[in-house]
Amino acid sequence: MLDWLKKPSGALKTLGQRGEEFAQQDYRQRGYKIIAANEFNKTGKRLGEIDFIAQDRQRIVFVEVKTRTAGVSRFGSGIEAVDGFKQAKILRAVKSYLLSHPQYRGLRPSIDVCQVDYREFDNSQFCAKIIANGVEDWD
């Protein structure tokens, strides 16, 4: 009915989507397997979203990606954007995920913040800065 509202199948990806894909590729190169992307509680109250979840032999890593165009500080740095309110939302989403996925109980959980920068002026590739355990509160 409202087909004109739908994204065309070949629609361009947003800067944020491209940044998340770049970050996932970076984690793959570090030996992680991506087990989920854009994960949120699908039943009941929406607790927050996890950009993607990566796993290696000992760890399950929940990654919050913030993509920025280098030199543009309108929203502050990606790291600054993960403030106390955002951290609380991420923690709720992670705890909910772990409760509903008992198969990962044997892995050590951590929450990384990955800032992806893109240099618009020369269309160069993205670069990622990972803050391991950037969000902590394992009560």
Domains parsed from the chain with CATH numbers: 13-135 (3.40.1350.10)
Ramachandran area for residue 71 (φ above 0: left; ψ -120 to 50: alpha; else beta): left
* Residue entry with tokens 């989507």: 17
How does pLDDT run across 43-96, given as a tens digit for each residue?
Answer: 666 677 899 999 999 999 999 998 887 665 566 666 666 777 888 888 889 999
What is the model's pTM? 0.80
How does pLDDT run across 20-29, given as a tens digit for each residue?
Answer: 999 999 999 9
Q: How many CA atoms lie within 13 A of 38 on its CB side?
A: 4
Q: Could you give the C-alpha distances from 46 to 14, 88, 96, 105, in angstroms and in order?
A: 23, 13, 10, 23
